[in-house]
Structure 1
Amino acid sequence: MRIGINATFRMHGGGVGHLRNLLASWSRTGIDRRHHIVLFTRPENIPYIQAYLSESIEVHSIGRHSITSIEKVLWEQITFPWLLRSSKLDVLLCPGNVVPLLSPVPTVVAFRNAAPFCSGVNIKLVGLLGWLNLKVLGTIMRLSARSARRVIFVSQYFKNLFVDRYGFQENRGDILYHGRDDVQFNQLYPSRDEDLVIQAPYILCVSHLQRYKNLSALIKAYSLAKEALQSKELRLVIVGKPESEDYFSSLKRMVECHHLTSWVIFTGNVPHEAIPRLMAECRFFLFQSMCENCPNSLIEALSAGLPIACSNASVMPEIAGDAALYFDPSIPEEIANALITLAENSSLCSELRAKALTQSQKFPTWDQVGLNTLETLDLAVHNL
């Protein structure tokens, strides 16, 4: 097969992580040598994936740097289909939620962003511009589901949403969870990074600093639980890149207002390679987001065998199963109670560690994800 990959989306979060792992798995398993892979991406995206591109992959740097959201939609829907006419592709994989609706070749789209479809993600939470951007994205995703030969859903939760709410034909969708890191986390990166020295013990939260990730409720919850947590010297470490400087500043002001400056630590963006060590050294893991589809960091925490306190919203119960202590993310008092419980109940933490490792085995390795993705592309080529 001659397989195209539309990697023109903005490289951040789970999207870039998935693409990197897919390219790496195709290289390890020889798929990139048995099939001709053509990757289309914008110039500014290449540094994010350069290390994962084998010599067998044909790379087309197209478009221009730093286009706006509207320009990207117009380029993807008008210019890109015209470029594809001479590509002689058998199928085009679109891992970033959207397909070119007028594509001259069969398309497969992978849906990762659940935010346009979560009721908790509203104007008050993300602002008017953010809300409008999500509405536009949601509309294009629904159109992409109709246009694509096949749709990859990364959770049963999200496939059910499209089937029940929009009448999506169930037989055109495949559920391919994100992969687990099949490694021993406590054996990775044993030496400390001089630029990232975090004093244990601590509670770990790995999450890009976006408004729907519910970080303000988390900070308030830590404040409510601070007497119990600080008595055990448990800091809260939040790892992730801020969505904007304004939002980051508001979170830091909140920390200062609650007198938590030395207790709540923002690391900013860190290399993914450092995450296993941070997980290996934390007391327990916290996942407080209000809206997700298939969160990589939650699967990584399960694979690391961590005790987990987790939001009960959207897909989280499907991913974490019985391996988490759940709370309502909209109620800071519930988050605070979960923090105190895991801080004080060592037997529960031991039980959750064992359950986490068991739950993690329900997810495929990334090599399995790569093989399953190839099967879906083959079904699209043969219109099955």
Structure 2
Amino acid sequence: MILGIDASNIGGGGGVTHLKEIISSSDNLVNDYSIERIIVFSSKKVLDEIEDHEYLIKLTFPELNKGLLSRVVFQLFKYDKEIKERCDILFSLTGDYIGKFHPVVGMSRNMLLYERNIWKEIKQPKEILRFWLNFKKQKRCFKNASGLIFISKYAQEYANKSLDIQRKLQEIIPHGVSAQFTGQVLEQKKLTSYTEENPFNFLYVSTVHVYKNQWNVVRAISNLRKKGYPVTLTLVGGVIFEPAGQLLEETINEVDPQNTFIFNKGHIPYQNISDEYKKASGIIFASHCENMPNILMESMASGVPIVCSNKQPMPEFLKNNGFYFNPKEVESIEKAIIEFLKQPEKRALMAHNNIKEIKNYTWEKTASETFSFISKVYIQITKNVQK
């Protein structure tokens, strides 16, 4: 079997991490699943980040290194020919392959394509149109696919309610967590151990968009300080939606113009984020739209206790090992943080449980289950053709 991986629409972030990790974990797997070669189709920028292997072919085309229009035209009129000449089965890493090659395994990565309430929060026609077009591409991909991979039970259930895909072969294969985030549980101290000079520092790692709610977290921390709680907040993550970035900046300027307790570091390279976890006393995760919350998983691995959004799929992964809140309500965030601060023994137990739980999420397991499922789909298709 010659496996093609369509990564033509990946630009960076989690998609690149996923691709790099499953390829780097594939050395001992290709023979197990009768994979003769793996061909990755993508831009030169993405391919340069992937390590070389004897069985791996990294293939790009001029159109994949230009703008969106050139890429789409190539995908519509030329891509199928290139795939058909080289591959037996295609894995669409972003679940938006729109060609006619068969068989295809599609993957669900982005819940923004489905959760339309967030479109109303965005309020920008151009941004909403982008999500709508990507939804249409995924709908087409999933309709033509022979197998579908989801990274959370929540995403699978949501997509099955939204699309006519119940008869497709499906598998839930969560992402792994990089070993660089593995930490240990530090002693959890009582609230009285913290002072204005030695505050309890919360960390919130996430890009800035309307569904990430950093401004609500900022207001909650500000209100708690007014009530005498010695807490600070460090924000890490670049702005990916400008109106949300402006709202965050305005909120920080309103509640902490001198930057005495809110520290917004913006974008930090992925390989350096683990250093921020080591400095944190507690972690806050306040998103209300995720497919599989990679940042939450990395937080669990760090050994730092967590205060978290109660919106699914966060509880699917964090289970009973976090203090939950409604991310859209400042008062709810405040209450959860207060309960968190008052219970050091519970914090410690939850953090220990998270480290145990995260051992179930390795990239080696993700790669093995991914190649196994693709092989299963290919074998079934081949048998049907022979009949």
- TM-score scaled by length of structure 1: 0.86
Change (3 A) 1:28 1:273: farther
Q: 1:124 to 1:181 in 2, by over 3 A?
A: closer
Structure 1 residue 5: deviation in Å?
A: 1.0
Contact 1:2 1:91 in 2 (8 A): yes
Aligned partners of 2:149 and 2:171 also within 8 Å: yes
CA root-mean-square deviation: 2.6
Asked if the contact 2:306–2:322 (Cα under 8 Å) also holds between the matched residues in 1, the reply is yes
Residues in 1 aligned to 2:263 and 2:28: alpha-carbon distance in whole angstroms: 37
Q: How far has the Cα of 1:324 moved from its partner?
A: 1.1
Counterpart residue number, 1:15: 15
Q: SS state of the match for residue 382, structure 1?
A: helix
Give the aligned partner of residue 262 of structure 1: 260
1:54–1:265 distance in 2 versus 1, CA, 3 Å: farther
Which amino acid in structure 1 is aligned with residue 319 of structure 2?
G
* Deviation readout 1:5-53 (Å, 9 max, x if unpaired): 1111232332222112112211465669963111111234334x24x34
* Counterpart amino acid of residue 324 in structure 2: Y
1:234-253 equivalences in 2 (<5 Å): 234-244=231-241, 247-253=244-250
State the alpha-carbon separation in 2 of the partners of residues 11 and 170 from structure 1.
31
Deviation digits for residues 127-186 of structure 1, max 9, x if unmatched? 222112111212221221111111100011111112233232255111001113456733
Following TM superposition, by how much is the alpha carbon of 1:372 offset from its aligned partner in structure 2, in angstroms? 0.8
Aligned length: 365
Match of 1:375 among 363, 367, 372: 372
- Mapping 1:216-231, distance limit 5 Å: 216-227=215-226, 231=229
- Asked if 1:332 corresponds to 2:330, the answer is yes
1:206 and 1:20 mapped to 2: Cα distance? 22
User: How far is 1:209 from its partner?
Assistant: 1.7
Q: Using a 3 Å threshold, how does the CA distance of structure 1 residues 56 and 184 change in structure 2: closer, same or farther?
A: same
Unaligned 5+ segments in structure 2 are: 185-197, 382-387
Q: Post-superposition shift, 1:207?
A: 1.0
**In the aligned structure 2, how far is the partner of 1:184 from the partner of 1:44?**
25
1:54 corresponds in structure 2 to 53
Name the CA distance, whole Å, in 1 between partners of 2:368 and 2:16: 19
8 A Cα contact 2:277 2:299, kept in partner:
yes
Q: Tell me the CA shift for residue 91 of structure 1.
A: 1.0
Find the counterpart in structure 2 of residue 196 from structure 1.
none
1:370 deviates by: 0.6
CA separation of 1:149 and 1:30: change in aligned 2, threshold 3 A = closer
Tell me, yes or no, if structure 1 residue 121 matches structure 2 residue 118: yes
**Map of 1:97 onto structure 2:** 95
Which one of 115, 123, 133 corresponds to residue 136 of structure 1?
133
Q: 1:123·1:130 contact (CA, 8 Å) conserved in 2?
A: no
- 1:308–1:325 contact (8 Å) kept in structure 2: yes
Per the alignment, residue 162 of structure 1 pairs with: 159
TM-score after normalising by structure 2: 0.85
1:217-366 paired onto structure 2 within 5 Å:
217-227=216-226, 231-232=229-230, 234-244=231-241, 247-259=244-256, 261-361=259-359, 363-366=360-363
